[in-house]
Structure 1
Amino acid sequence: MQTREARQEPRTIEAKHEKYPRLIASCQELEPMPCAVVHPCDESSLRGAVDAARQGLLIPILVGPEQKIRAVAAACELDISGYSIVDASHSHESAETAVAAPFAHWKKARPGKALV
């Protein structure tokens, strides 16, 4: 007797993630929101923030050790010159800083805009 899992057709990766392009397209119709990206000190984290910004999904506020973030950006050839960086010495401080003053980060990322 086959188990339930064995009877089901295998799903391809494309089918499993087919909703994401629709979700991204829907979000691209909205105004991008500032988003704290905490401790983006590796390629995956930083590239994800940059790619999301390029797609118009968010305005990254990079929170973490500034020199380390800039070093990762340089090593990965990522242009982060247009993004705010809030310097924090380590990952725990980065997280605390990101949630401590969201309105200050908002104003820095979007001068003249008010959060309602």
Structure 2
Amino acid sequence: MSPKKTGEWLAALATAFSLVACYGTLAAITLLGALGVTIALNEAVWAGAIVLFAGLALVALLIRWRGHRRLAPVLLAGVGFLLIAFTMLVSYERIIELAGFVFLCAGTVADWRMGRGRKERDA
């Protein structure tokens, strides 16, 4: 797979991993708790994984920015990353966390749409 094709899905994959690390883990813990299984989860590692994947999504969008030179996706994802990092590492607020993921996803989707538009113009 060429690096150009890899870059097309890297931001989306990192964003999905960040969402799964956050809400997927929460769902798994809730489900297991309902089944009577208790899990001790290191919350610092959990928060670190969420922030790491959100940061990887931002880096992937910065790399793709060089191709289309539109700042909107990077700004959206940057705001999302900052909100996620703040809520995970400083002061947890559910609404700020959700807003961070909305911004991160919006930046990823905007970048994907811009990449598709460029392909259609080049064809």
TM-score by length of 2: 0.27
Q: Which has the higher contact order (CA 8 A, sep 6+)?
A: 2
TM-score by length of 1: 0.28
